[in-house]
Amino acid sequence: MMKKAFVACAFPITAVMILASSSPSFAAGNAEKGKAIYAKRCWWCHGKTGGADGPGSKFLIPPPRDFTMGLFKFKTSPAKVEIARDEDMFTMITDGMPGTGMPSWKSLLSDQDRWDVVAYIKTLTDLFKGQTNPPALDYSKKVATSKESVEKGAKAFEAAKCFECHGTRGKGNMMKKLKEDGGARVWPRNFTKAQTFRAGHTPEAIFSRVTNGIPGTPMTSFAADTTGNGKLSEEDRWHVANYVMSLEDPNNKVKEGQIVVKGARKAALPKDEKDAAWNDVDATTYPLVPQIIQKDRWFTPTNDLLSVKAVFTDKDIAFLLEWDDRTKSVPGDAVVEALSWGTLSPDAVAIQTPVIQLSGSEKPYFGHGDASHAVSMMYWNAGTKDAPNVSKLLLTSGTGKRDEGDAKAAGFTTSASYETGTWKVMMKRSLTTANKEKDAQFEVGKYIPVAFANWDGSNEETGPKHTMTIWYWLLLVPETGSQVVTYPAGVFLILVIGQFALAAQLRRKYKK
C-alpha cells in the first residue's frame, strides 16, 4: 500500500485538469474522518503533521504544500483575505495540479471524502480558527473576450512588465531567476500550454491569479488599490485574462491517437530549420517523461513536449524537432549561467532508431538498445558560446556502450536556432548507407520504431538526467500510385456486378 501511495504522489501528472468557473457545492466536512483519509493517502508527500516533509517530498519540484503554514497558492477569496476558501482546497484535491506531484483524487475519493480532507487540513494550522469561509472574488464586471480586449490586454501585459518572467510571447522564457519563499525554484507558466495551468484555464481563474498573485511565489498581486494606485485596474486585469487566453496554442499538446511521425515526400529538403517549407508538413507531438530507469534517475524535469516533423527525398531524410524551453542553455553565456540551477550544460536532443529492423512488433530496448539489438542515435547539443551546435552520429548497444559513427558517410548534418522560448533543430541524413550492420536504414512505406530524448541544460540535465519518450513510429509515406484508386474501384465494380447477378438469380427462382 505504501508503494502505491508513494508512486501516486511522486510522479508528475500530465493529464489536462480544468477548474470549472463555478465553485462546487459546499458540504460540511468531518475532520476526524478526513484525518483517517489523510493518514492513508496524503502524508507520503505532505508529512504526518502537514509540514511538507513526507518521504516523497524530496523528489518533488515544486515541493508539496506545507499545511502548517495555512498558505495556499491558488485561492479565489479576495486579495485582502489571508485564508483560502474551502472550495479552493476542495478543487485542488479534486482536480490535482498538472505538472506537479499532486494527482486528481476524484476517482478514488467521494465528494464527501474530499470535504472531510478539507476539514482536517484546516486543523493543521491556526489560521482558520475562528474564521468563517470567505466569499469569492467579485466577477460581476467581467469583460467579454474580443479582438479589442485582447489588444488592450497585450498592452497592459507589456506595461506591467509581465514579459520579464513570462516572455514576450507568453512562453515563460524568463529574464529572472525565480524562487519560492522557501527557496525552491519556480518556473513561470507557459501560456501557450493551457493543459499545464494549475488552477484552471478560464478567464475567471486567470483574473484570480492576476488579482491575488500566487502567495509564496514571485507572482505578486497586480491589483490597483482603492485610490487607483497599483499596476493594473480591474478592467485591465480582465483584458490581461483575455489576452492570456488568446495565447493558447492548440498544436502545443499531445493529440490522442497520433503516435506516428508521417514523413512527407518532397522534391527537395528544406534548407534549414527556419525554411518556410516546413509549414506545410504535419507535426506529431510526444510527451516527454523523466528518465527514472537507470542511475542517475531524474525526478524534476522542466521540458514536457517534443514536436516532430519529417520529410524525405529519394536519397535523404530530414527531421524538424521543436520544443519550448524557458532558457537557451549555452555554457559561456553569462546571462544564461545566471539563470541556471547548478552547473550549466548545453540543451540537447536526440533521435534513436534501430540499426536492424526486427520482425513484427519486436524492438530493441528503448534505453540505448541492447547487446543483441544496437540502435543508431542522431544527437545534437547547443555547444558553448564559442563553439555552438555540436552534433554526433552514435551507435549504442546498451547504456554506456557507444561508438561514434561516420557522420560524413551518412550525410548527417544539423542546424538549430532559439527564438522566443522555442528551440528548432533540423537533422538531415541519408536514407541508406553502405554499412547496414552499424547504421540505421530508412525504408519507404515501412513502420520504423523511433524514440527521442531531450536535455534542459539550465535544469542540471546531463547524461542520464534527462527526459525521454518510449518507442513510437516513423512512416515515410509512399507516393499514391494509380493502383490506390484502381484497386478499390475494381473491387467495387465486382461487388456491384455480383449483386445484380444475385438479384437476377433470385427473381428467376421466385418466378418458378
State the Cα angle at 421 between 418 and 425, rounded to 5°. Answer: 35
Cβ-contact 322, 428 below 8 angstroms: no
Q: Show me where the domains of the chain are located.
A: 2-124, 147-246, 260-476, 483-512
Which homologous superfamily is 147-246 in?
Cytochrome c-like domain (1.10.760.10)
DSSP string, 456-475: -GGGT--TT-SEE---EEEE
Instruction: Quote the DSSP letter at residue 405.
Output: -
260-476 has CATH 2.60.40.1190 classification: yes
Q: Which of 355, 366, 445 is nearest to 393 (CA)?
A: 355
CB under 8 Å to 89, separation ≥6 — which residues? 72, 118, 121, 122
- Do 147-246 and 260-476 show the same overall fold? no
State the Cα angle at 361 between 255 and 411, rounded to 5°. Answer: 75
For the beta carbon of residue 218, count every other beta carbon within 10 angstroms: 17
Which CA distances in Å does 385 have to 326, 330, 414, 424?
18, 6, 17, 18
CATH topology of domain 2-124: Cytochrome Bc1 Complex; Chain D, domain 2 (1.10.760)
Cβ-contact 95, 109 below 8 angstroms: no
Q: Which of 209, 22, 17 is nearest to 105 (CA)?
A: 17
Burial 490-510 (b: 16+ CB within 10 A, else e): eeeeeeeeeeeeeeeeeeeee
The x, y and z cell numbers of residue 66, run together, are: 506545507
d(CA 89, CA 68): 14
Cell 480558527 belongs to 129
Tell me what pLDDT residue 345 has.
Answer: 96
Tell me what pLDDT residue 4 has.
Answer: 38
Instruction: Quote the DSSP letter at residue 420.
Output: T
Give the predicted TM-score (pTM) of the model: 0.83
Which CA distances in Å does 100 have to 62, 97, 261, 268, 497?
7, 6, 28, 43, 62
Cβ-contact 12, 301 below 8 angstroms: yes
DSSP string, 257-291: T--EEEEEE-SS--SSTT-GGGGGS--EEEE-EE-
10-residue mean pLDDT profile of the chain (512 residues): values are 38 36 56 97 96 93 92 91 94 93 95 97 95 94 98 97 94 88 89 94 96 92 74 95 97 92 97 97 96 90 96 98 96 89 94 82 83 92 96 90 91 97 98 90 95 96 95 93 44 50 53 50
